[in-house]
Structure 1
Amino acid sequence: MARFACLVLVLFGSAAEGRLNSEPSARLRGLKEEVSNEKADAGWSFWNPDPEVLVWDEQVSMEEGVQSYFGWLKTPLVHDMAMLPYEAMPYVCLRVRAIPATEQPAKHGPLLLHCGGPGTGSSCLEWSSYSWDINGEGNQSRLHKDFDWWALDQRGVVTEGDMTTPPCPFNYSTGEPILPFPRMQCHEIVSSRLGVDQIVRLTLGANVSENVSREATPYVESILRFKGLRVTVSGIQHFKETFLRWYYRLLKLEHSLCYNAPRFKLQSPSGREYNVLQFGGTVDLAHDIDQFRRAVGASRMSIFGASYGTAVAGVYGTIFAKYTHHLVLDGVVDPFPDVEERGVLFAKSITATWNGMTRACDLSAMDSGAEEPCRAAPLSESKTLSLIQDSSNPSRAAFIFQLLALLFGTGVGLTHPHSLASVVFACVEKYADGQDNGGCPDWLLSILPADDLGYTEILSQIVAATMTPPEMDWFGLGIQTLVLGTDTAGRLNEEAFIRWWHASMLMQPLGTPLSFAMVVGISTWPATARPVPPMGDASISPVIVGNLHDPRTAYTSAQLARRAFPQSHLVTWQGIGHCLRPPGPVGKGLLAEYETAKQEHHLMNYTEELARYDCFSRILSFIDTGNSPLDGHTCIVPRLLDTSRARLEQGLAMFKKVLNRSEFNQALNR
């Protein structure tokens, strides 16, 4: 605790002073300055970017005293300089957003924030600006003084704007406009208004028998109605091979139709047609990031990547090591170019998180000092698996599985794991032990959707109302399959996928059904892969953050990333949740608690909030100073799992709140 006290005093005693440069936005289009820099396009800056590559909007956004600039980045569709003598290359526009350093020029240049996905886009900047402000300094922090913060909509991502968003300002020499990279959404089955019989014939062949078509109908109806496999009152579709086969076939059909859709075709100035979906991988994004670096005349680029953003940071550092400044990889998604290896890590992350939870639950029953032992202890894992694998009571099995799916697969579960886990364990206690202590009320059963409406009814409503089918990503995997399908060389055909599923279910019976959708998405992506290079470089020193209990990223990947970058430093977070989630502006309150405890001559209460603050402070210090935390440092949490009555009540309140939201019902149907 003494070490933390020093950290608190240092952090709060060094509030940075800075004044936002008040130059008008018109200055962002100035002339090239006479600056010599052999590692950058000399003369360009954030205020005066290369006007042939980056143009800021005239309108500047002001939110809570912080100025945000929006703009358009022009980038080649194909980053291949060897083609330039032979082909007039097509370009695309990408939307960017930036918060300029309060002291210009920025001491350390640009800092890219990528919140993962793939799919988070430029909105990452707004979220990070708030959540990183752990000391409540606003734009007066050292990071705001020393860096130009920025984020972008990577290829296929379109952050929702408003009516004031200007069009991309770039044109070809012919006067034809350069267009934004199209939004990656696949909805061809519905938008083509294909009937079930047509779908069956497209997937199984034109000569399929009526009996086979009839047998296939309920699977097609259900999967298209729920936009994937779902848990209903009839049971868990994820455990049934026929459902899995039809899910694979329908996603393969959707991706094939989507890949060939006219909206993804782009013609170069020389007349050659390109399919833009061939160029949406992480390597393409790394080149787009470097395009921005050169446009603002920066010698080096810093990147903070969370989740999939770690692959972005790692690949950039691998390809552009000499232009890399500070990298942070938080919650590592290692870009393995093999779908089976990716599938193993997807499942392993959920398994490790659940194992940690159940181990903490069981240990609480052995702790004589525990005021409120976990309700499902002992043997909490065995009891849970027994319930969800009980084919004699499919509705009850589906209910428990749906609780777990919400715990591991939604934003609420990722940010409030203790509260939702408390509800899960209370329901396990009720149905496995017959102990009903009020922690699993019957109204929770309404989280299971009914089998009341199929795809045919939905399609009939669209046709009857002469509606335009909704332009949405029907299966919810579009941008992920575009990026990861491009990055990944391995593909599994239907039979290979089924073999993988059987083997994986034996090893990871909970992690596999909650994670196999991405394996199917990558395996059915029709574009030929353009894999990323093996991640790593010996000349740079990133900080890698691994979470022992992260349901989205396996801790194994953090260890592998540490090995790939020999000079990197590994920090381990013991808690539960996705990545090392920053605590927000809690620093002043924690400092007040520390001062009170010191005056009263007792130790400050060590909470998870305090542990998270301490851990994230080290990461922010590295970004600004380059001083790495001790390699192998573990950020210790006071208690892995809290299933107290207070947490249980919070969890029930959250379930009740989301059950009353239409967004929740829509989420169940995605």
Structure 2
Amino acid sequence: MALALLVLVWHLAWAQEPGCAEKDEQSFLQTLDILDHVEEEACDLLHPKKGLRWTHSKQIGSHTVYAGNLTVPLSPHREDQEDTPYLDLLVIMTMPTSESAASVEPLLFHCGGPGSDATCALSFMKDQQFNAYAGISISQRGIGYTAMPSFECAKEHMKLPPKGLNRSYVISDFTDCACALPDGTPLVGQAFADLDPKNQSSVHRLFENMALRARRCAADKRWVLTGATGKSYNFLDWAGTRMLAQDIEHFREKTCSPKLHLNGMSYGTAVAAVYADMFPERVGKMVINGNMPPVPFTLDFAKGQGMALTQAFGHLERLCVTWTSTPPCNLYSSEMSLSHVWAQLVSDLRAGRITAPTEIHSKGGTVNFPLSIGLVQGYVQEQMISAGFVPVGWAQPVSTLANLANLRGPAARAAEAKKILDRYCVLPSGYGTPWSGVVTWSTYGVCVGQQSVGLSSMSYSSSLGALGIPPYRKNVDGYVNGATVLGQDLFGRFTVDQAVKIWQDFSSVWDEMATSAFVGIFSEIFAWQREAVPVHAGFRQNVRALVVGNLYDPACSYTWSNRMRESLPNSVMMIWQGVGHCLGEGGDYPGSGMKPCLDRMASYWVTGELPIDGFTCRTEEPVPLLM
């Protein structure tokens, strides 16, 4: 609009001058060059080009928060530019009020997942190290409350069956979504499966059902999008991390930002590294913390997940030996290592001896529901991951294992089993419907959860409400996000029989904890139906990044961080000898030794100064066991 108005003013002034017929085309083109320059100067974060529109703003603390819409082509390729469909993505920007728009450089935040959406940027507004930046986050295609289409099943697919049927309940009693898990499939999360991971018939049945789920989900008509000329596209073919990198670059172009700074955690490290691979000249500062593997091979990814947990559990055992007089490790005798406790616990779980009472009654009394090895593994891993965000060390997983091992008595054992079942075997909450938040294991005698029905819980966000946009955040337990994004990113597809043979090899070497984590993630993607568009995370000589890794990260192996450092030859590695997922001040505790790493990370964002390569923060005391 501004350009058109200036052209009109120039044209009127020219037409009124005497001798205007003698003005040549060159003079007109020179003026257009000036106007183009004016237009270019007008383009910035607050005045973007067409395709990015800020629709809401609100002063929150020391920031002005903007929410808007980024319109992107489904296919970014020039061959498809005439007929590609378009997508609208939610974008949130936090702008420090002390800075002018012209002097603020954008910093992209990605909080991991796959599942992080545009609300990620809101989490960093209070961090002073980022005060010189406009923080931005973009909702990945298919992810978040406003996504259209959404990877997750719709709430309209949900239903609540009557109680007291004279048969076992199945997943289809609760949903008719094509991307839900098929009947008979155990609840499966990103790194666990509700089964005995050493039982071949159970694993074989799981792999068969997950292959069926992949076929059904990929065939769902909701993924078919039609372009302007009638050409059809399958949304699942345009949904991986490469497409998110393209969308991030689209944002950069629309705001005329010379570069983007990148801060990625967990899966967000893949987002940042893939963007750096595709657009290396557009990368400013870059921190990748708790890294994904740079080589996108399905089998390596699954093995790495299992082996990361093994390393973390071995460290947990060594810590408990050190803290034998400290609760809850004092519950273990000097001859009773965590490995011995885990072995006995596996035996009890396999025999069905660890249960919790349901609401269901039979002639013999209350019906008890058994806990599985896989759910215990998933729960313990989740507690170990949380040590990266809260300063309690690893007391929680030690206490969980002690309770399940009956070291505090039968009542504590049953209560711990109930806590785990309540965590996973529950329908999505936050929807205000009769089925919302229903605990299935105790009500219906079946473990059906958010992963089973392909729908995550929702939580209310006052920050989003203040912005005037729908005040809800989707959690990431719906499980479809991981399959769709990682299924696009990772190459390597296998038949069910091949998958079983791969499981046999892994299971013959590793214990139940590692094998359960391997089975969970591998089952999700080994038979994904759409073809891969493999990512390359890093592999650029001219990208100078700060790569951060914990030695005992139970989700993203330190090995992955080390390989990410190798893939970025000009980067710098920083290591913490500690525990939990990612390095962050929330996981700091007295004697953690992580403060020098936190200080160097903050200094990098302020001054651009990187630490020496291989700088290591040494733990000063064993990980505390605080409740």
TM class by smaller structure: 0.7 to 0.9
Matched, 1:63 2:66: no
Matched, 1:629 2:591: no
After superposition, what is the alpha-carbon deviation per residue over 1:130-162, rounded to whole angstroms, capped at 9, x for unaligned?
A: 4xx2xxxxxxx4632x211100101111236xx
Q: Which of the residues 239, 257, 271 maps onto 1:312?
A: 271
Q: Secondary structure at the match of 1:92?
A: strand
Q: Decide which structure has greater strand share.
A: 2
Contact 2:291 2:549 in 1 (8 A): yes
Unaligned runs of 5+ in 2: 7-31, 162-166, 173-180, 355-369, 422-440, 458-476
Matches within 5 A, 1:219-368: 222-223=184-185, 226=187, 236-365=195-324
Distance in 2, matches of 1:355 and 1:441, equals 23
Identify the residue that residue 478 of structure 2 maps to in structure 1: 476
Partner of 1:387: 344
SS in structure 2 at match of 1:100: strand
Establish whether residue 406 from structure 1 lines up as the match of residue 397 from structure 2.
Answer: no
Counterpart of 1:183?
A: 150
* Residue 444 (1) aligns with residue 416 (2): yes
Q: Which residue of 1 aligns with 2:113?
A: 117
Indicate the residue corresponding to 2:45 in structure 1: 46
Partner Cα distance (2:65, 2:272) in 1:
23
Q: CA deviation at 1:622?
A: 0.9
How far 1:447 moved relative to its partner? 3.3
Quote how far apart the aligned CAs of 1:398 are.
4.4
Tell me how far apart the structure 1 counterparts of residues 397 and 169 of structure 2 sit (CA, whole Å).
Answer: 43
Alignment of 1:16-55 (within 5 A): 43-50=42-49, 52-55=50-53
Are 1:89 and 2:84 an aligned pair? yes
Q: Which amino acid aligns with 2:343?
A: S
Change (3 A) 1:486 1:221: closer
Give the superposition deviation at 1:439.
11
The answer on whether the counterparts of 1:188 and 1:258 sit within 8 Å (CA) in structure 2 is no
Equivalent residue of 2:516, what SS? coil
Task: Name the CA distance, whole Å, in 1 between partners of 2:602 and 2:483.
Answer: 32
1:155 — aligned with what? Answer: 141
Change (3 A) 1:372 1:121: closer
How has the CA–CA distance of structure 1 residues 246 and 63 changed in structure 2, closer, same or farther, with 3 Å as cutoff? farther
The CA deviation at 1:423 is 0.5
| Residues 418 and 642 in structure 1, CA contact (< 8 A), matched pair in contact too | yes
Counterpart amino acid of residue 135 in structure 2? W
Offset from partner CA, 1:203-244 (integer Å, 9 cap, x none):
xxxxxxxxxxxxxxxx975536x4679999xx9443322222
Question: Displacement of 1:41 after TM fit?
Answer: 6.5
2:14 equivalent in structure 1? none
Matched, 1:73 2:70: yes
1:424 to 2:373 alignment: no
Structure 1 Cα separation of the partners of residues 331 and 33 of structure 2: 68
Alignment partners' CA distance in 1, 2:214 and 2:335: 45
Of 578, 583, 586, which aligns to 2:586?
583
User: What is the 5 A alignment of 1:635-654?
Assistant: 635-643=617-625, 647=626, 650=627
What is the CA–CA distance in structure 1 between the aligned matches of 2:134 and 2:489, rounded to whole Å? 29
8 A contact 1:321–1:539 mirrored in 2: yes
Q: What are the superposed Cα offsets for residues 43-64 of structure 1, whole Å, 9 maximum, x if unpaired?
A: 41011100x220001x313333
The letter of the residue matching 1:360 is L
Contact 1:238–1:244 (8 Å) recurs in 2: yes
> Is the 2:192–2:521 Cα contact (8 Å) retained in structure 1?
no
Cα RMSD, aligned residues only: 4.1
Q: How far did residue 404 of structure 1 move?
A: 4.3
- TM-aligned CA deviation for residue 302 of structure 1: 0.6
Return the match for 1:513 from 508, 513, 516: 516
Identity of aligned residues (%): 22
Aligned length: 524
Conserved? CA contact 1:41–1:294, under 8 Å: no
What is the deviation of 1:190?
Answer: 6.8
> How far apart in 2 are the matches of 1:181 and 1:583?
34
Whether the 8 Å contact between 1:236 and 1:398 is mirrored in structure 2 is no
Deviation at 1:608, TM superposition (A): 4.4
Q: In 2, are the aligned partners of 1:33 and 1:44 still within 8 Å (CA)?
A: no
Q: 2:444 aligns with which of 421, 445, 453?
A: 453
User: What is the CA-CA distance between 1:281 and the residue it aligns to?
Assistant: 0.9
CA offsets 1:10-38 (integer angstroms, 9 cap, x no match)? xxxxxxxxxxxxxxxx99xx99997999x
Structure 1 residue aligned with 2:493? 491
Distance 1:244 1:192, change over 3 A: farther
C-alpha distance 471-346 of structure 1, shift in aligned 2 (>3 A) = closer
Per the alignment, do residues 71 and 448 of structure 1 end up closer, same or farther by CA in structure 2, a change over 3 Å counting? closer
SS class of match (1:60): strand
Instruction: Specify whether residues 158 and 447 from structure 1 end up closer, same or farther in structure 2 by C-alpha distance, changes over 3 A only.
Output: closer
Q: TM-score, normalising length from structure 1? A: 0.69
Question: Cα distance 1:470–1:632, how it changes in 2: closer, same or farther (>3 A)?
Answer: closer
Paired residue for 1:542? Answer: 545
In 2, the alpha carbon distance for the partners of 1:113 and 1:354 equals 30
Taking structure 2 as the reference length, what is the TM-score of the superposition? 0.74
Residue 655 of structure 1 aligns with which residue? none
CA distance in 2, matches of 1:188, 1:543: 41
Q: Distance in 2 between matches of 1:196 and 1:436?
A: 33
The 1:45/1:421 distance shift into structure 2, 3 A limit, reads same
CA pair 364-339 structure 1, distance change in 2 beyond 3 A: same
Residue pairs, 1:530-569, within 5 angstroms:
530-533=533-536, 535-569=538-572
Q: Which residue matches 1:662?
A: none
Mapped partners of 1:34, 1:629: distance in 2? 44
- Residues 80, 635 of structure 1: alpha-carbon distance in 2 compared, 3 angstrom cutoff: same
| d(CA) in 2 for partners of 1:123, 1:578 | 20
Q: 1:91 to 1:373 in 2, by over 3 A?
A: closer
Please identify, of 508-517 and 624-633, the stretch whose mean Cα deviation from structure 2 is larger. Answer: 508-517
Change (3 A) 1:245 1:33: farther
What is the CA-CA distance between 1:548 and the residue it aligns to?
0.9
User: Which has the higher mean CA deviation after the structures are superposed, 631-640 or 182-191?
Assistant: 182-191
